Amino acid sequence: MKINRYVDISTIDREAKRDYIDRHSPFIHCEKTAKKGEKFKVTVKLGDEYPHPDDFDHYIAWVQLWNGENNLAQATFVPGALGNQPGHVEVDFYIVPTRNMKLTAMAFCTKHGLWQSDEVVVEVTE
Q: What is the pLDDT of residues 48-102, one digit of tens each?
A: 888 999 999 999 999 999 999 999 999 999 999 989 999 999 999 999 999 999 9
User: 78 vs 5, which has greater pLDDT?
Assistant: 78
How far from chain centre, in Å, is Cα 50?
14
pLDDT for 11 equals 79
Please, what sign has the CA dihedral across residues 44, 47, 49, 51?
A: negative
In this prediction, residue 48 carries a pLDDT of 87
CA–CA dist 85, 74 (Å, integer): 22
Q: Which of 105, 101, 102, 125 is nearest to 115 (CA)?
A: 105
pLDDT band at 10 (very low <50, low <70, confident <90, very high): confident
Q: What local confidence, expressed as pLDDT, does residue 5 receive? A: 84
pLDDT score for 40: 98
pTM of the model: 0.90
